[in-house]
Amino acid sequence: MNLALKLPALALPPASPQFINRYSQSSQGQAQSAVRELAEGLSAAAASVSPKYFYNALGSKLFEAITRLDEYYPTRTEAGIFEAAHTQIAGALAEAGITHPCLIDLGAGNCAKASRLIPHLQPRQYVPVDISVDFLRDAAEQLQSSFPALDIIGVGMDFSAGLVLPPEVQQRDRVFFYPGSSLGNFSTEQALAFLQHIADPAQGQARGLLLGIDLVKDKATLEAAYDDALGVTAAFNKNLLRHVNTLLGADFDVRQWRHLALFNEAESRIEMHLQAQRNLTVRWPGGERVFRGGERIHTESSYKYTVASMSALLRRAGFTRISYWTDPEDWFAVFWASV
């Protein structure tokens, strides 16, 4: 009689993503840089604040809510393109000799967009990059539970200030993933410089770029997407002032500001502003600004392109082979550009 005990198989602990926080490696330096940038923007003749300051923890959650609104078509339209064209997209990468890329997700947020592509692109490494560090850390951990065998390296970084990836990110077959038309937050000149940096072989950066871009369409549809009936986008815009208060030590009263969104046809861009509802003074350590009633703070530009204008910009940046897919209404486009 065999009295040996039959022990249950030991479960392996779940994998955990690696996380590299470059955004706060020099927290004092980052804080001083933010204070300087915010003070300069608020003191300028036409006051402005960079849209990167939308994304504190609450701002990231509010933006996630925005993507679910009826008026905000970009997220669901882009997702529809990826769903319909994922086979062709994987085929385009394969034609470029890329079968298991290092997928670098810029502005990854909750990683939801990449999670739908990972089964089709089968990356050897996934690198989500975002300025909202705690939000990204949580998202990467949740994604790891869905793909336990995937090598995930989260990078907390303000890549708008310079895209230099840590050495842990694989050099081989790097594919940059920049969905959501976030490139539209750059001016055309800034977008060109950013794309040139990615495409530059001297940087050893990219084999290719998978890019989501919002296309020009009627003014009413564009403005509604940035000024929804529920006021979620207004809350998102006003939350920027709370973040400025924290970073700069300012005393903005969000109740005194109104959210505005308008399409500037001459510049082909949506603009978001915060408008003072009365004469008021905002103070911070070492400075202050008097705002007249009706005066605005420019908080975001979102440039809209045509297929032709974006294709031309990609070629100017150094990408040589360009493919694209659109939705049936031609509201949005996904580009694959290889070097």
* pLDDT tens-digit readout, 72-113: 999 999 999 999 999 999 999 999 999 999 999 999 999 999
Give which of 117, 70, 76, 68 is closest to 329, Cα–Cα.
76
- What does the domain layout of the chain look like in residue ranges? 43-62+219-303, 72-157+169-218+305-338
The gap between the terminal CA atoms of the chain, to the nearest Å, is 69
What's the whole-number mean pLDDT along residues 133-147?
93
Q: Say which residue the tokens 């679910």 belong to.
A: 68
CA separation, residue 309 to residues 197, 305, 316 (Å): 19, 6, 11
Q: Residue 23 has what pLDDT?
A: 66
Q: Which CATH number fits domain 72-157+169-218+305-338: 3.40.50.10700, 3.40.50.150, 3.40.190.10, 3.40.640.10?
A: 3.40.50.150
Cα 36–Cα 38–Cα 39 angle in degrees, nearest 5: 65
pLDDT tens-digit profile of 214-241?
999 999 999 999 999 999 999 999 999 9
Average pLDDT, the chain: 92
Cα separation, 166 vs 239, whole angstroms: 31
pLDDT tens-digit profile of 284-337?
999 999 999 999 999 999 999 999 999 999 999 999 999 999 999 999 999 999
What's the whole-number mean pLDDT along residues 149-164?
90
Q: What is the largest CA-CA distance in the chain?
A: 93
Give which of 310, 300, 303 is closest to 333, Cα–Cα.
310
Instruction: Confirm if 102 and 76 have CB atoms less than 8 A apart.
Output: no
Is 70 exceeded by the pLDDT of residue 203? no
Can you tell me whether residue 116 is helix, strand or coil?
A: helix
Q: Residue 24 has what pLDDT?
A: 57
